[in-house]
């Protein structure tokens, strides 16, 4: 059990000019599963390795349970780490692989046997304890790596893209299992991934990292619903949030949005942006779509591409000279070229400053 406190951690790798982490501050509470998510090269692994003690920051501090561990060697931090290349030892059976850390710590044999058994039960590996890694599937090998990490009862579990070597189906299965296991053992966990779906589904909170900084930190639903900037909106979600340039206009006391020939009511909080261009952010599932013939309301658009996904139909429509993704119900029928009407529900619209990319809050 542990909480982690990170303060203005900066690290520039030798031979590089840009910091891999640029003044990151972060508190992880006891028992929390926090996910660091961001594009390749944004500094996630560097931060994780500094928490593990495998890398030294240039400045800033890292504390675990109130104790400054910034310069403490990895072996004295009681931290367990699972890497992307979850190297299990090929010459050891699963039992020895899982118990390796306990053996190094010179724990009594009976205790090792008991704890290995418990970890194997938790990870559904009981029937494989006497096999070699080569006799296991990729998913089972991955479970061995996780069992080996949790068996030592570390204060903190650090996971660096642990599922990236698994195929899509195994990833999904293991994601659910992993969430359950972390809930059961209650160990404070930091999990690194570049997969936004994994981040949203796993994390108690997610920290979106970009160019060495945390852009947004919060619970997954809030971050998904209220992206703090257009980068987060574009990074989280599949498809990414739509961003449509619109103008805010004010006429006869009414605040309106306009794009091309179209005009429609603007949310009242945009009144102070009258006369300015803004970026309207809206998610595909928050755009209502109806066939043109059945509805005279809504804004006109034309279907360009129709992609059934099974549970829904993803449409790419031309709206105000922009390609916009719209998620329609699975039963929605349309052909390329069909005219449709879009209904934008005001509570689900977000507005961003085109220059700073930041969310325009109530002004
Ligand atoms: P990925 O998802 O691809 O693993 P990441 O977000 O984990 O990426 P880091 O591995 O932390 O990113 O890398 C951050 C930046 O630091 C990158 O620009 C990378 O090239 C650089 N970097 C990482 N390790 C080293 C190193 N040992 N020497 C020099 N530069 C490094």
CATH of the domain at 257: 2.40.50.140
Q: Same domain for 216 and 87? A: yes
Residue holding tokens 């910034």? Answer: 70
Q: Which of 218, 235, 252 is the last residue of a domain?
A: 235
Within 10 Å of residue 130's Cβ, how many Cβ atoms?
10
Centre of ligand 1 to C-alpha 197, Å, is 22
**Taking 70 as the threshold, does the pLDDT of residue 103 lie above it?**
yes
Q: Which of 185, 200, 235 is the last residue of a domain?
A: 235
Q: For residues 35 and 191, is the Cβ–Cβ distance under 8 A?
A: yes
Q: Look up the CATH number of the domain holding residue 164.
A: 3.40.50.300
Q: Same domain for 172 and 270? A: no
Query: Where do the DSSP E strands lie in 103-169?
Result: 156-160
Which tokens sit at 220?
A: 């997954």
The pLDDT confidence band at residue 30, using thresholds 50, 70 and 90, is very high
Residue 283: CB within 6 Å of ligand 1? no
Residue 46: CB within 6 Å of ligand 1? yes
The count of residues in the chain is: 363
Q: Specify the pTM.
A: 0.90
- State whether residue 52 is helix, strand or coil: helix
Structural domain for 302, as ranges = 242-352
**Taking 80 as the threshold, does the pLDDT of residue 150 lie above it?**
yes
Q: Same domain for 200 and 255? A: no
Residue holding tokens 């994994």? Answer: 198
Element (H, E) at 218: strand 213-218
Residue 13: CB within 6 Å of ligand 1? yes
For residue 360, is it within any domain?
no
For the CA of 42, the nearest atom of ligand 1 = 6
**pLDDT, tens only, 297-350:** 789 999 999 999 999 999 999 998 899 999 999 999 999 999 999 999 888 999
């Amino acid at each position: 059990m542990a909480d982690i406190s990170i303060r203005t951690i900066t690290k520039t790798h030798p031979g590089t000019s840009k910091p891999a982490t640029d003044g990151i501050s972060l508190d992880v509470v006891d028992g929390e599963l926090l996910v660091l998510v961001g594009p390749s090269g944004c500094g996630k692994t560097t931060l994780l390795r500094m928490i593990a003690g495998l890398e030294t920051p240039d400045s800033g501090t890292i504390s675990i349970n109130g104790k400054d561990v910034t310069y403490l060697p990895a072996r004295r931090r009681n931290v367990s780490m699972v890497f992307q290349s979850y190297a299990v030892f090929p010459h050891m059976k699963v039992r020895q692989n899982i118990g390796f850390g306990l053996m190094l710590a010179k724990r009594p044999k009976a205790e090792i046997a008991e704890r290995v058994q418990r970890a194997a039960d938790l990870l559904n590996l009981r029937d494989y304890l006497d096999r070699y890694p080569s006799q296991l599937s990729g998913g089972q090998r991955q479970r061995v790596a996780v069992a080996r990490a949790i068996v030592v009862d570390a204060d903190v579990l650090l996971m660096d893209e642990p599922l990236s070597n698994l195929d899509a189906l195994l990833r999904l299965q293991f994601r659910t299992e992993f969430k359950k296991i972390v809930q059961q053992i209650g160990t404070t966990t930091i999990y690194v991934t570049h997969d936004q779906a994994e981040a949203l589904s796993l994390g108690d909170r997610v920290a979106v990292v970009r160019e060495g900084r945390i852009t947004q930190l919060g619970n997954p639903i809030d971050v998904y619903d209220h992206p703090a900037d257009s980068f987060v909106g574009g990074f989280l979600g599949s498809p990414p949030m739509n961003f449509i340039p619109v103008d805010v206009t004010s006429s006869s006391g009414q605040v309106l949005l306009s794009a091309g020939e179209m005009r429609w009511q603007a949310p009242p909080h945009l009144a102070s942006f009258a006369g300015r261009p803004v970026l309207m952010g809206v998610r595909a599932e928050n755009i209502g779509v109806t066939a043109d013939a059945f509805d005279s309301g809504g804004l006109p658009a034309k279907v360009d591409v129709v992609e059934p996904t099974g549970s829904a139909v993803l449409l790419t429509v031309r709206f105000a000279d922009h390609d916009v993704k719209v998620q329609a119900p699975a039963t929605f029928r349309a052909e390329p070229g069909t005219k449709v009407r879009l209904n934008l529900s005001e509570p689900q619209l977000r507005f961003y400053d085109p220059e700073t990319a930041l969310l325009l809050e109530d002004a």
